[in-house]
DNA sequence: TATATTTGCAACCAATTAGTAGCACGTAAT
DNA sequence: ATTACGTGCTACTAATTGGTTGCAAATATA
């Protein structure tokens, strides 16, 4: 089964889950209250996020708190890195050229 | 049909296509030579990338050159932005605090 | 004009996915 | 001890996805 970070963040609900637990660790039930879907559906999303290590567990009695794992998110950032040059450097250079043309 | 950037980059073949055309605009046939799959399969991936505007067309006779659109990729970067703080500044500071607590 | 090339599109198939419902296992509360 | 709560897991279903094949349209070449 393919279980990489890119596939994990492809789902909007999972992205929302990540945003929520990045601010504060939460239990599946607490998370489910933020969405229109069932507790089980949220739990399945959490499973996907856990399997690709974007999320870590912290068991506390019968509750399980899920934490965001920033390290794993770095993978997306690393993949993005070479593309970033395309919209930063070259674009800035283009801006400079355009500004110089306007002055004339 | 959901057609956003995150869903588009979820597929490894599509990510490879983006990497290739980011360096040089290419035709579907030229792209297909880089993969084990058929020309039509690559074409379907290109369609997905085009529909979410990660890729732009340039028609030249009966050939179509596909270009990478960096602007659209920014969306991923913007979503990543708040998380970036977690693995850079704040995370280092948290580590320092935790280490100091352990020493006591 | 006749033929070959490049491509998009529609139909179809197998595999995967998101969601639901029900059950079982611990843990807490009465 | 009994009941309620929080959770993961396993079918099951409907929708989506990645891939293939075949075809038609447009452009190039003989």
In this prediction, residues A39-43 reach a mean pLDDT of 97
Q: Residue B26 CA to nucleotide D28 C1', Å? A: 19
Examine the pLDDT at B56 and tell me if it is beyond 80: yes
Contact at CB, A76 and B73, closer than 8 angstroms: no
Contact at CB, A87 and B70, closer than 8 angstroms: yes
Q: B87: pLDDT confidence band, cut at 50, 70 and 90?
A: confident
Domains within chain B, CATH numbers bracketed: 5-73 (1.10.10.10)
Q: Cβ contacts (< 8 Å) between B9 and chain A: which residues?
A: 6, 10
In this prediction, residues B24-51 reach a mean pLDDT of 97
Contact between residue A5 and residue A72 where contact means Cβ atoms under 8 Å apart: yes
Q: Residue B34 CA to nucleotide D30 C1', Å? A: 31
Residue B37: CB partners within 8 Å, gap ≥ 6? B13
Residue nearest to nucleotide C18 (CA to C1'): A41
Helix (H, G, I), strand (E, B) or coil at A20: helix
In this prediction, residues A14-29 reach a mean pLDDT of 97
- Strand C closer than 7 A to residue A27 Cβ: no
Is A5 within 8 Å of chain B by CB? no
**Which of residues A10 and B99 earns the better pLDDT score?**
A10
Question: DSSP string of A43-94?
Answer: HHHHHHHHHTTSEEEEEETTEEEEEE-HHHHHHHHHHHHHHHHHHTHHHHHH
Q: Residue B92 CA to nucleotide C20 C1', Å? A: 42
Q: A95: pLDDT confidence band, cut at 50, 70 and 90?
A: low
| pLDDT at A22 (0 to 100) | 95
Nearest CB among A7, A12, A18 relative to B10 is that of A7
Choose the weakest-confidence range: A50-64, A79-93, B13-27, B34-48: A79-93
Nearest CB among B12, B84, B87 relative to A71 is that of B87
């Amino acid at each position: 089964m393919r279980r990489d970070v890119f596939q994990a963040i492809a789902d909007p609900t999972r992205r929302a889950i990540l945003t929520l637990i990045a601010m504060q660790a939460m239990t599946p039930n607490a998370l489910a209250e933020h969405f229109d879907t069932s507790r089980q559906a949220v739990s399945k999303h959490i499973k996907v996020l856990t399997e690709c290590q974007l999320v870590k567990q912290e068991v506390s009695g019968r509750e399980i708190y899920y934490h965001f794992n920033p390290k794993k998110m770095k993978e997306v950032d690393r993949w993005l890195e070479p593309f970033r040059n395309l919209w930063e450097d070259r674009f800035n250079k283009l801006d400079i050229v355009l500004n110089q043309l306007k002055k004339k």
